[in-house]
Amino acid sequence: MADGLIRTLTRLLKEGHAPWSSVSSRQRNQLQSLRDAGVLTVEREGGGRRLVVQNREMVQRFAEKEYPAGLDAAREADEAERLPASDAALHFRDAKRGSAGGEVVLFRGRPGVKITRNGTPVPIGELTQSAGVGAALLGSDTTLTVDLAADRSLAIVENQEAFLRFEELGTAAELACFAGGRLSGQVLEWLGSLERASGQIIHCPDYDPVGLSEFQRLRDACGDAVQLFWPDELEPMIKTYGKAALYRDSAELLDRLSGSSHPEVQKLLALLKRHGQGLEQEVLLRVD
């Protein structure tokens, strides 16, 4: 995210002033303490106004407090395509503005199932039996492939308990990947790169507007390779075990979803509207 305050402070320190119209409302709030102290003033000039430095030393101190590694370094970091979390903490005191440089993706698999990371086989099936899960670090330069036969499926499971017991969901998938709620852009990009046949990526979400929105994101990334997991007796389960808040609290998504051309989206949307409830996927583990 571009940080306009860097540009404004640089200009103030270099030129002693900046056009008031170039200072966003967010920056004005950030600089309010300097205006209150008289360090910066807003003055008329011609037909407009400008922000003027009255005490350069105090502006310099403010800049050093906001950007401890310096404005020049902060500008370079702000313009970086991928900023490590460590650099974000150094330049902006905010690690969340950066990324960890890779993402840990968790898998569970049936016996014999493997994935391959950068040419090295990872025995997910064995790791599932011995350690409960297998994992791989996914980065921008990672090659990660799923070693499944063309007629075998990969399940994307939204919630933790359902992931840890994915064999009980009834999908017949050989391998499961933990979504952890909303899939990251990096994982979506990886899934979109997999060469899977139609319907060979099975999405297992909560049956509510948020889960349906995630299915639509997967469809956008992977096309016909993705199908929505539709368990037997889904409508009776929604009617009996559904939760109104799951539907009501995400109602703003309904208008966007109603424009989807995918029949599974429209089918589930009709169920949700009919009953005014959503269903958490964990119910599938308890209902035969």
CATH topology for 4-97 is Arc Repressor Mutant, subunit A (1.10.10)
Q: Which amino acid, 224?
A: D
CATH topology for 103-285 is Dna Topoisomerase Vi A Subunit; Chain: A, domain 2 (3.40.1360)
Tell me how far apart the alpha carbons of residues 207 and 230 are, in angstroms, rounded to a whole number. Answer: 10
Domain ranges of the chain: 4-97, 103-285
Tell me how far apart the alpha carbons of residues 18 and 11 are, in angstroms, rounded to a whole number. Answer: 6
Tell me how far apart the alpha carbons of residues 89 and 38 are, in angstroms, rounded to a whole number. Answer: 30
Query: For each of the chain's 288 residues, which pLDDT tens digit applies?
Result: 468 899 999 999 999 999 999 999 999 999 999 999 999 999 998 888 999 999 999 999 999 998 888 888 888 777 776 666 777 676 676 667 666 567 899 999 999 999 999 999 999 999 999 999 999 999 878 899 998 887 789 999 999 999 999 999 989 899 999 999 889 888 999 999 987 766 699 999 999 999 999 999 999 999 989 999 999 899 999 999 999 999 888 878 887 888 787 888 899 989 999 999 999 999 999 876
Q: In sequence order, what are the residues at sequence separation of 6 or more whose Cβ sits closer than 8 angstroms to the Cβ of residue 236?
A: none
pLDDT computed for residue 1 by the predictor: 47
Model's pTM, two decimal places?
A: 0.70
Q: Which residue, among 216, 237, 236, has the nearest Cα to 227 in the 3D structure?
A: 216
Rounded CA Rg of the chain: 26
Integer angstrom CA distances of residue 135 from 60, 104, 280: 47, 7, 25
Tell me how far apart the alpha carbons of residues 154 and 226 are, in angstroms, rounded to a whole number. Answer: 9
